[in-house]
Amino acid sequence: MALFRHGVRVADDWTFPAEGEAFPDSGPVALPRARLIAEWTALEARNAPLGVVIASGEKLDGLEAILPRLSLVKLVIPRYADGRLYSIARLLRDRYSFAGEIRASGDVLRDQVALLVRAGVDTFDVAHEGTARAIETGGIVAVTHHYQPASNDAAEAHAAPGARPWLRRTPVPFPLA
């Protein structure tokens, strides 16, 4: 897996304790939803960034109250064709005004990167070698004219007054958030 934050390859600063494994005393930690909620009090006392891991098919129900306290939401994509996380990312940004990192993790095709960015994802943790190479070498070819507002709206140019209000533009080459 290769991690890219805003298009730049970085080392992972987060810890993802396995099931049954204790979380470290310091440093950023992300946990599956159920465990995060169950151990919230102890986690909060650590005074370090917290995140949640959303498995494919899971939703955000029950997290509403703690989302503002989280710095990372990691969305797991087992198969590139599983498009649920696009909606989850959009809900995070638009419905819950989540300002932290949204990480797409798993089977991401290079041709999906731009769509995910528009849906609100800003970090990619990709299994696909071709995707990693494309992000690294600026090889993401994407359409930069859009027919609908999405969830990366602040980074996109809006239509001039009088034109279709649903149009959006991103600069060329497509900025990776």
Partner 1 sequence: MYRYDEFDHAFVNERVAEFSDQVARRLSGELTEDQFKPLRLMNGVYLQLHAYMLRIAIPYGTLSSRQMRRLAHIARTYDRDYGHFTTRQNLQFNWIRLADMPAILKELAEVEMHAIQTSGNCIRNVTADHFAGAAADEVGDPRPYAEILRQWSSIHPEFTYLPRKFKLAVTGAPNDRAAIQVHDIGLELKRNAKGEIGFAVFVGGGQGRTPMVAKRIRDFLPEADLLTYCEAILRVYNLDGRRDNKYKARIKILVHEMGEDEMRQAVEREFAAIGRTALTLPAEEIARIQSYFAPPVLATLPAHSDVLDKAKAADPELARFLRRNLHAHRTPGYGILTVSLKPTGLPPGDATSAQMDVIADIAERYSADEIRVSHEQNLVLPWVCLDDIPAVYAALKRAGLATPNAGLVTDIIACPGLDYCALANARSIPVAQRISERFAALDRQEEIGELKLKISGCINACGHHHVGHIGILGVDRKGEEFYQITLGGSGDETTSIGEIVGRGFSSDEVVDAVETVVETYLKIRTSPAEKFLDAYRRVGEAPFREALYADA
Residues that bind partner 1 (CB under 8 A): 57, 59, 80-84, 86-88, 90, 94-95, 109, 111-112, 114-116, 118-119, 130, 141-150, 158, 163-167
Minimum distance, C-beta of residue 27 to partner 1, in the bound complex (Å): 32
What angle is formed at CA 163 by the lines to CA 160 and CA 166, rounded to 5 degrees?
90
The residue (of 74 and 90) whose beta carbon lies closer to partner 1 is 90
Minimum distance, C-beta of residue 98 to partner 1, in the bound complex (Å): 15
Minimum distance, C-beta of residue 130 to partner 1, in the bound complex (Å): 8
Closest CA to 124 of 134, 133, 113: 113
CB atoms near residue 149 (< 10 Å): 16
Q: Contact, 135 vs 176, CB < 8 A?
A: yes
How far, in Å, are 26, 56, 80, 118, 153 from residue 2 at the CA level?
24, 20, 16, 20, 26
DSSP designation for 3: E
The residue (of 53 and 85) whose beta carbon lies closer to partner 1 is 85
The residue (of 29 and 58) whose beta carbon lies closer to partner 1 is 58
β-pair partners for 158: 168
The residue (of 50 and 176) whose beta carbon lies closer to partner 1 is 176
Minimum distance, C-beta of residue 126 to partner 1, in the bound complex (Å): 14
The residue (of 7 and 112) whose beta carbon lies closer to partner 1 is 112
Minimum distance, C-beta of residue 42 to partner 1, in the bound complex (Å): 31
Residue with tokens 């064709």: 81
